[in-house]
C-alpha cells in the first residue's frame, strides 16, 4: 500500500554512526522510503544549538554520516536527502513560528532544564538552545509532514509540534472578522460570565483541559441573553473551529529494543561503547568477545541468567529464534560457555555489516558525489518548503 503522505526525519551530524542508530531509526527510514514521500535531513543548525563553539568538523561529520545513511540502504532515488541550512526556508518559518510560541511551552520541555543543569561543560544558557525544540517543529511543519520517525526521547518534541500547529491554525485559520464578532457576543454575556468564559477558553486551548471545555459549554447553554447566532459563534470560538493550514504530525517510534553498548549501558558515542557501522570484523569480534556477561558466571560451570547479561540484549535484536533458544538454554544450564554464546552473535553482526560495507563502496571518499546528492536534495526540498512558506506568509499578511 503506497501512501504518499510526507515523512520528515533528521539527525544531527555527529559523524560516523553506530548500530544503535541503524536499529533505532535508519532501518525504519529504509522501509518508509518505499511507501511515503520521505525527507531525510542533516540537522546542522541543530548541531549549532548546543555545539556552537566547536564547528570545525561539521562538514566532515556530515559526509561521514550521509555515507552511513547510504550504506544502510537509504536511497536518494527514493527519498530526498538534504542539509537543513541549505534550505533557508527552515530559518524563515522558524522566525515566523517564534512569534506565536509561548515562552512557557519551551521552558517546560523536559530536556531543556535537564541539560541546562547537567551539562556543565558547555554554556547552554542561550536563546538558540532554548529555541531548539521549536526549530525542530519548524522542520516538521515546513513539509506538512504527517509522520516523523524518531527515537523515544524525541516524542515530546513532536507533541510540541502538534501544539504549535494547532495554535497557528487557531490564530490564522479564521474567517475575516471572526474574532471581532466573537468579542461582541462575549460582551453580551456580561463582565463576570465573559471573564469566566475567557479563562475557561484559555485553559482548554492552552492546557487541553477538557473539563474547562465542558464548563464553558454549560455556561453558554445557560446564558439567556445570547441569540442563537451569538451562542453558535461562541461555541465555535471555544472549539477553535478553524481552517487547517499546518498539518499536525504523528511520531513513529521504532519498536526495536534499545541497543545496549558493549559495556552494558545505553549505546552512545559519548560513552565510548559503540559498535560503529562499517567497523572492521576484527574490531567487532574483539569488542563482543570482551563484552561483560552475567556476573554470576564466573566459572564455565556457573549457570547464568540472560536477563542479567548485555550480550542477551544484542541477541534479541540480531538472532533468530533458534539461536536465541540455543543461547538461553545453554546459559541457564551452563551447557555452553559465554564465548560459544557470543559466536553466532558476532556472525550476525558481521553479516549485517558486510552489506553496509558493500553499499558504502560507491560513496566512500567521494565528497563530490555526496555533495551532489545533497545539493540535488536541497533543491527538491526547497520546492516543497516554498509552498508551505508562501501560504503561511499570505495568511500572515506579509506576502507583498
Ligand atoms: N532534534 C533531533 C535530534 O537531536 C534531530 C532533528 C532535527 C529532528 N529536526 C528534526 C528529528 C525533525 C525529527 C524531525 O536528534
Ligand atoms: Fe550472557 Fe550468553 Fe554468557 Fe549467558 S551464556 S551470560 S547470555 S554471554
Whether ligand 1 lies within 6 angstroms of the CB of 136 is answered as: yes
Q: Write the residue with the smallest CA distance to atom 11 of ligand 1.
A: 10
Cβ neighbours for 380, distance < 8 A, ≥ 6 positions apart = 80, 82
Kindly list the averaged pLDDT for each block of 10 residues, start to end, along the chain of length 400: 80 95 94 96 96 93 97 97 98 98 94 82 88 97 96 92 94 78 87 91 86 91 84 81 85 86 91 94 96 93 95 95 97 96 97 95 93 98 97 94
Phi and psi of 297, rounded to 5°? -90, 75
Residue 143 in contact with residue 39, Cβ under 8 Å? yes
Closest ligand 1 atom to Cα of 135: 9
CATH no. of 3-173+248-257+365-395: 3.40.50.620
Structure confidence at residue 240 (pLDDT):
67
Pocket test for ligand 1, best of 45, 49, 139 (most atoms within 8 A of CB): 139
Closest ligand 1 atom to Cα of 132: 1
What are 252's strand-pairing partners?
Answer: 149
Structure confidence at residue 26 (pLDDT):
94
Cβ neighbours for 143, distance < 8 A, ≥ 6 positions apart = 6, 8, 39, 381, 384, 385, 388
Distance of CA 288 from the midpoint of ligand 2 (Å): 12
Whether ligand 1 lies within 6 angstroms of the CB of 144 is answered as: no
Pocket test for ligand 1, best of 6, 7, 13, 43 (most atoms within 8 A of CB): 43
Domain locations along the chain: 3-173+248-257+365-395, 178-238, 278-360
Pocket test for ligand 2, best of 312, 328, 332, 336 (most atoms within 8 A of CB): 312
Structure confidence at residue 1 (pLDDT):
41
Q: Write the residue with the smallest CA distance to atom 8 of ligand 2.
A: 338
Closest ligand 2 atom to Cα of 306: 7
Closest ligand 2 atom to Cα of 330: 5
Residue found under cell 522542520: 139
CATH no. of 278-360: 1.10.240.10
Amino acid at each position: 500500500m503506497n501512501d504518499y503522505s510526507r515523512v520528515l526525519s533528521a539527525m544531527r551530524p555527529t559523524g560516523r554512526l553506530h548500530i544503535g542508530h541503524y536499529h533505532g531509526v535508519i532501518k525504519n527510514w529504509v522501509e518508509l522510503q518505499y511507501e511515503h514521500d520521505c525527507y531525510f535531513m542533516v540537522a546542522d543548525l541543530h548541531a549549532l544549538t548546543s555545539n556552537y563553539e566547536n564547528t570545525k568538523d561539521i562538514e566532515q561529520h556530515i559526509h561521514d554520516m550521509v555515507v552511513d545513511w547510504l550504506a544502510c540502504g537509504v536511497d536518494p532515488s527514493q527519498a530526498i536527502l538534504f542539509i537543513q541550512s541549505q534550505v533557508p526556508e527552515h530559518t524563515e518559518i522558524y522566525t515566523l513560528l517564534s512569534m506565536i510560541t509561548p515562552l512557557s511551552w519551551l521552558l517546560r520541555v523536559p530536556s531543556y532544564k535537564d541539560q541546562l543543569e547537567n551539562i556543565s561543560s558547555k554554556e547552554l544558557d542561550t536563546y538558540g538552545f532554548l529555541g531548539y525544540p521549536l526549530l525542530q517543529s519548524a522542520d516538521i511543519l515546513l513539509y506538512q509532514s504527517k509522520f516523523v520517525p524518531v527515537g523515544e526521547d524525541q516524542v515530546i518534541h513532536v507533541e510540541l509540534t502538534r501544539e504549535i500547529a494547532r495554535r497557528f491554525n487557531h490564530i490564522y485559520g479564521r474567517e475575516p472578522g471572526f474574532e471581532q464578532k466573537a468579542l461582541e457576543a462575549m460582551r453580551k454575556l456580561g463582565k463576570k460570565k465573559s471573564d469566566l468564559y475567557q479563562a475557561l477558553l484559555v485553559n482548554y486551548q492552552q492546557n487541553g483541559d477538557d473539563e474547562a471545555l465542558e464548563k464553558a459549554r454549560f455556561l453558554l447553554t445557560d446564558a439567556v441573553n445570547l441569540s442563537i447566532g451569538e451562542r453558535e459563534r461562541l461555541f465555535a470560538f471555544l472549539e477553535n473551529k478553524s481552517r487547517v493550514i499546518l498539518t499536525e504530525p504523528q511520531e513513529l517510534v521504532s519498536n526495536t529494543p534499545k541497543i545496549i553498548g558493549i559495556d552494558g549501558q545505553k549505546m552512545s558515542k559519548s560513552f565510548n561503547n559503540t559498535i560503529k557501522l562499517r567497523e572492521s570484523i576484527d574490531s567487532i569480534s574483539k569488542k563482543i568477545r570482551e563484552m561483560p556477561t552475567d556476573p554470576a558466571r564466573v566459572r564455565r560451570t556457573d549457570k547464568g541468567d540472560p536477563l542479567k547479561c548485555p550480550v542477551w540484549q544484542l541477541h534479541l535484536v540480531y538472532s533468530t529464534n533458534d539461536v536465541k533458544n540455543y543461547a538461553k538454554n545453554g546459559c541457564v544450564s551452563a551447557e555452553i560457555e559465554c564465548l560459544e554464546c557470543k559466536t553466532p552473535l558476532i556472525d550476525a553482526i558481521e553479516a549485517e555489516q558486510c552489506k553496509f560495507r558493500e553499499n558504502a563502496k560507491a560513496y566512500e571518499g567521494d565528497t563530490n558525489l555526496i555533495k551532489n546528492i545533497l545539493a540535488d536534495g536541497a533543491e527538491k526540498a526547497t520546492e516543497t518548503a516554498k509552498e508551505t512558506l508562501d501560504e503561511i506568509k499570505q495568511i500572515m499578511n506579509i506576502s507583498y
